[in-house]
Chains A and B, each alone.
Chain A
Amino acid sequence: MDNLLQVRDAHTFIGQFHILQGVTVNVPQGAITALLGRNGAGKTTTLKTILGLTPPRQGQVIFDGQEIQGRHTFDISALGIGFVPDYRAIFRDLTVAENLQIAERKQGDLARRQELIFGLFPDLKRLIKLRGTQLSGGQQQMLAIARALVAENKLLLIDEPTEGLAPVLIEQMMKAILQLSAETTVLLVEQNFAVATQLAKYYVIVEEGRTVKSGAMPDLLKDEATIHRYLGAA
C-alpha cells in the first residue's frame, strides 16, 4: 500500500495560535481517507497546511515522493492537488463555464474532462451560463467539486461537501464522490459521521490539533469507545 500523501508531525500557527500541534496523516493511493474530529479540531487547517495556504512551521508534507512544505500554494497545487474548500469559493462574478475554465492548467483540459464532469453533475450543463451568485448551495457544491476535476489531479482535498445540503442532495454528492474516487485519491473532511463511514476506506482522527488515531474504517466502526470519545457520535 503506497501513500500518495504523507503529513508528518505538522505544526501550524495562525497568527500566534498554535493550531496544529502534531498532525500526522497518511493518505493511501486510490482510496478515500476521511479526516474526522470535532469542530475546531484542526481538520480544515490540515488541508490548508497541505496546500501551503497556512504553511507548517514544523514537520513535513510529502506528496508523490517529494517534500512540498514551504512551497508556494500554486506550485503545490500544480503538482496535481485539487481543493474543494468548505466555503465552496465559487467565483461570484464568473459564469459557471468560467468557473470551470479558470481551473484549466493546460489548454483544453476542460474539453478533455467535460464528459466526466457533466456525467457526474448533469445539472451543471443546464446552468453553464449563470453567474456564481445565481446558484443554490447544492449547485455551488457541485461546481466546486467539478472545478477541482478540470485539471488532472492525483489528489482531491474535499472539505465538508455535504454541509448544509438537503438529504437528496447528500445522496447525490456521495454517489459523485464515490464515482470520482475510482480514479482519484481523496482526502475528505466530513462532519456527518454516517456519510464518512459509507464513503471512506481509511480514517484519521484529529483532536485539539493532534492526530489521535488512524486506521481502516471497518476497525473504527467496531471501536465504539473511540467513536464516543473523539467524535461524540454513536
Chain B
Amino acid sequence: MTTIIGTIRKNRTQTITLAALILSFLLAIQGMETGDWIITILRGLSVAAVTFLVASGFSLIFGLMDVLNLAHGTLFMIGAYVGWTAYVRPDTLLDLATPAALFFAGLLLLPLWDRWLSRVRLAPQAARGLPWLALALGVGALAFGFARYPITGWDVTVYDKSPVVFGVQLDLGQLDLPAPAIVGAEQLGVSMLCLFAGGGLIALGLTLLESRNRIAAATTRVPWRALLLALGLALGGLALFAWNDALTAFLVAAGTTWRFLIAVIVATLVGAGLGALMESTLIRPLYTRPIYQLMLTLGLGVIGREVVIALWGRTQMQMPKPALFNTIGQGCPAQTIFDALANQCSTISFMGSRIRTYNEIFIFIVGVIVLIVVWLLLQRTRIGMIIRAGVQDRAMVEALGINVRQVFTFVFALGVGLAALGGVLAGPSMGVSDDMGESLLLSALIALAIGGLTSFPGAAAGSLLVGLLQQFIVKYGQIGIALPFLEQPFKPTPPLVPASTLLLMVIILLALPNGLFGRKE
C-alpha cells in the first residue's frame, strides 16, 4: 500500500493526467446511449490496433537506431498492396514465388564465397573493383532473367484487365483469372538460370565488400547447412513452377479465408524483407548523418508510392473481407461471437446496432496478439534484451562484443514487417489506396508523441488514446454534443477528427514533455 502511494507521489503529473483522461472519457460516455458508446469504443480499439502496428514498429526503429523512418506510412501501404495481390491474384503470387526462390537460393551461396575468399588472396586493385563488378553483373542478370520470366499479371492501362476489376470480381464472387503466361522452354531456362546467377553474383559482391575490412578468421568448414537450404529453395522454386497451375486452382478453391491468411503472412514477410534491404543497403552508410537519413526516408516514401501507382494503378481497389467475416443472412447478424464464427457472420447484433466482426473484433484481436508477442520478444529473449539495452546505450552494447548491425537489421525488418501487417489488415476495412499510409503515419506519430517516443507500452497507450478519441469525435459528429450555451447540438465536422488528436497531443505534451511513458533525456 505504501509503495503504491509512494509511486503516485513520485509521478504526480502522470497521475493527474491519467485522472483527467479517465474523467474526460467518462464525460464522453455520458453523452451517448449505452449501445452507442460501446460500439464507439470497439471502433476506437480497432483503429488503435492498426495505429499501434505502425507506431510500434516506428518506435522500435527510432528507439534503437535514432532513424526517423518517414517511409513507414508508405511501407504500411505497400503491405496492403502486396497482401491484396496475394489475396485477389494467387496466380500472380505463385508466378512470382519461383523467381524469388531462385534468387534467394543464389544469395544463400554467400557462405560458400566466404570460404573461398578466405583461401585466395586478391590483388589490391582487384579487391577494389571486383565487388562492384560482381554487384553490377548480379543486378543485370537479375533484371535480364526477371524480364523474361512468364508472370501472369494485370494491365493498369486497360480497364478490363486492371487490378480494380479483379477486386470487384472477387467481391461479387466471380473471380475470373486470366490465362497463365507461357514462354518457350529455352527462354524459361535462360531466365531461371539468370535469376539464380543474379543472386549468386550479388552474394559474391557483398562478400567481397565485407571482406575488405574484416578480421581474417578463416572459415574452414564447408557451410553444408546453407548449401542444403539453397538447394532446397531452388528445388522448391522449381516445384512451385511445375505445379503452378494446380496450386493456383487449389488456392482459388481454398476460399478467401485461407487466402487471407496467406496474404497476411506474405505481406508481413515482404515488409520485413524490404525493411532488412533498406537498412542494410541505404540506411547503414548514413547512421552518422541524421539529416541525410531524413531526406532518404522521405524520398523513399515518395518513390515507393510512385512505384505502387505504376504497378497497381492510381484508383482505390477493393479488398473484400475474408469469407469467415463476410456472410449476410442465414442466421446473421449473429447474437453471440460463437454464432458469428459458426455462421461466418459479417456482423453481430448488439443493443440495437451492429458490430462488424472483421473491423471491430478481428483487427483488435490481432493487434492484441502482436502486442503480446512483441512484448514477450522484448522481455524474454536474448535479442529483446539486446534491443532494450541498445535503446539506451548502443556503444556499450557494441563494446560487449555484440554485432549491433545484425540487431539493427533485425529490428528494421521487424518494424517494417509490423507496418506491412497493419496495411494488409487495414485493407478490407479501409480499402486499398495509395494515400492510405499518410494519414496513418501522422496518427502513429501523434500516438508516439503522446506515449513517449521510444517506449513500447507508450506506443500502445498512445495508439489507444488516438483511436478512441478519433472514433468518439466521429460518433459525436453524427449525434451532436448538447452544450449548455448552444441551441443546436454541436456536431464536430470530419476535419476535427485529426485536429482533435493533435490537440490531445499538445495538451499531454504540455503536462508531460516526454509523453506518458517517456524518459527524461
Contacts and interface: CB of A to CB of B under 8 A. Distances in A.
A123 B393 CA distance: 25
Given A83-B396, A83-B399, 9 more contacts: A72-B403, A74-B404, A75-B214, A83-B400, A85-B396, A89-B396, A93-B392, A102-B386, A151-B401
Q: Is the interface of B mostly helix, strand, loop or mixed?
A: helix
A52 to B, nearest CB: 8
Q: How large is the interface on B (under 10, 10 to 19, 20 to 34, 35 or more residues)?
A: 20 to 34
Given A53-B395, A92-B392, A98 B385 contact: yes
Interface in A44-82: 51, 53, 66, 70-75, 77-79
Interface string A92-113: 1110001001110100000000
B400 A77 contact: yes
A53 B399 contact: yes
Interface string B372-399: 0000000000100110110111011111
B23 to A, nearest CB: 31
B213 A71 contact: yes
B402 interface: yes
A71 B398 contact: no
Contacts of B391: 93
Interface majority SS (helix, strand, loop, mixed), chain A:
loop
B520 to A, nearest CB: 12
A11 interface: no
Contacts of A105: 401
Given A85-B396, A91-B393, A102-B397, A74 B403 contact: yes
A147 B405 CA distance: 22
Nearest to B215: A75
Given A51-B399, A74-B398, A89 B388 contact: no
Nearest to B393: A89
Interface of B: 213-215, 382, 385-386, 388-389, 391-393, 395-405
B391 to A, nearest CB: 8
B287 to A, nearest CB: 13
A66 B215 CA distance: 9
A77 B399 contact: yes
Q: Which 3 A-B pairs have CB atoms at the shortest separation, nearest pair first?
A: A77-B401, A78-B401, A89-B396
Given A74-B404, A101-B385, A91 B399 contact: no
Nearest to B402: A74
14 contacts: A53-B395, A66-B215, A72-B403, A73-B398, A74-B399, A74-B403, A75-B214, A85-B399, A91-B392, A91-B393, A93-B389, A101-B385, A102-B400, A151-B401
Given A91-B388, A93-B388, A101-B385, A73 B393 contact: no
Contact of A102 (B213, B385, B405): B385
Contacts of A70: 213
Contacts of B395: 53, 73, 89
Contacts of B400: 74, 77, 83, 102-103, 147, 151
A228 to B, nearest CB: 35
A23 B430 CA distance: 63
B388 A94 contact: yes
A151 B401 CA distance: 10
Contacts of A72: 398, 403, 405
